[in-house]
Structure 1
Amino acid sequence: MGHAIREMMDDRNAELLPLEDIVEVDEAYVGGAPKSLSGAYNPRGKGTGKPMIFVATSRDGQARARVVSDDKRATLEPVLLEWIDPETTSLMTDGSKSYRGLGKTMADHQL
């Protein structure tokens, strides 16, 4: 696992080509369970204190990920536009409200 992370962070990957064709995007909260297991409150989703990761993956295997502050369109859109060409990309997402707005600027958007 450590080798894969070091490879992804290598300088040779600094100037990657844009993700193309069909691109799937999603967000996730990363981090383990609380240290205290006896009755600890561990909220999931937006209520958690864990960092949010925004991920985009193309069908050819390329992927991008970034820590973001929230899942609002104003936060996600600039990041996504760095990674893709909206005129040629088909975006695949879940039903989140923030993705509905993003899909309007893409060549195609599927839920």
Structure 2
Amino acid sequence: MAFSGTKYTAYRYQSEQKDLLYGSIEIDESYFGAKRQRGFHGKLKRGRGTLKQPVFGIFERDGRVYTEIVSDCKKQTLQAVILGKVSLESVIYSDSWRGYGGLVDVGYSKHLRVNHGQNEFADGTRHINGIESFWSFTKRRLAKFNGLTKNFDLHLKECEWRWN
């Protein structure tokens, strides 16, 4: 099977996964796109508000991960993805982004946060290191392509497939 055939197979397999994630779940968003240029003080800043493509990730601590390319990281967008992929009995761990607010109000039993803004990254089992590790793996893997625009979704699902 050709390498490009592997991407399509991985994309098809990952897209057909309909079962809910459950247990201890980590959620986070990441941004993919061109690196910032040194000395360029235009619109290419870090994190939210950049020209980069936002991707939302859900990580089940037993090892499975699910990613979805989203149009934005607003509360309505993220909660729709979470409600569609995560069991209501799950314990959700996230950073303190306000887009994750209100998960207990929509039926989730427990939502614990880590505040990166106050240099808080882990407190016992309250962390999102698993999904951060997946983002690191994915960005390292995709860096060799010097930026992806055409088949970004295929490459992303291939990384998800390789991780799972």
TM-score normalised by length of structure 2: 0.57
The one-letter code matched in structure 2 to 1:95 is: S
Find runs of 4+ consecutive structure 1 residues off by over 3 angstroms: 2-8, 10-13
* Rounded Cα–Cα distance in structure 2 between residues aligned with 1:12 and 1:79: 15
Q: Counterpart of 2:73?
A: 71
Answer yes or no: is 1:45 the counterpart of 2:47. yes
* Rounded Cα–Cα distance in structure 2 between residues aligned with 1:67 and 1:56: 12
Q: Residues 32 and 109 (structure 1 numbering): CA distance in 2 closer, same or farther, change over 3 Å?
A: same
TM-score normalised by length of structure 1: 0.80
Identity fraction in percent? 27
Match of 2:60 among 39, 42, 58: 58
Q: Residues 101 and 38 (structure 1 numbering): CA distance in 2 closer, same or farther, change over 3 Å?
A: closer
* Rounded Cα–Cα distance in structure 1 between residues aligned with 2:5 and 2:64: 17
Q: What RMSD over aligned residues (CA atoms) do the two structures have, in Å?
A: 2.4
Give 5+ residue unaligned stretches, structure 1. none
* Rounded Cα–Cα distance in structure 2 between residues aligned with 1:12 and 1:52: 19
Q: Deviations over 1:53-93 (max 9, x none)?
A: 0100001111111111222111111111111111x111000
Answer yes or no: is 1:92 the counterpart of 2:93. yes
Q: Which moved more, 1:94-103 or 1:5-14?
A: 5-14
- Higher helix share goes to which structure? 2
Q: Which moved more, 1:68-77 or 1:18-27?
A: 68-77
> What is the aligned residue count?
107
Q: Residues 13 and 67 (structure 1 numbering): CA distance in 2 closer, same or farther, change over 3 Å?
A: closer
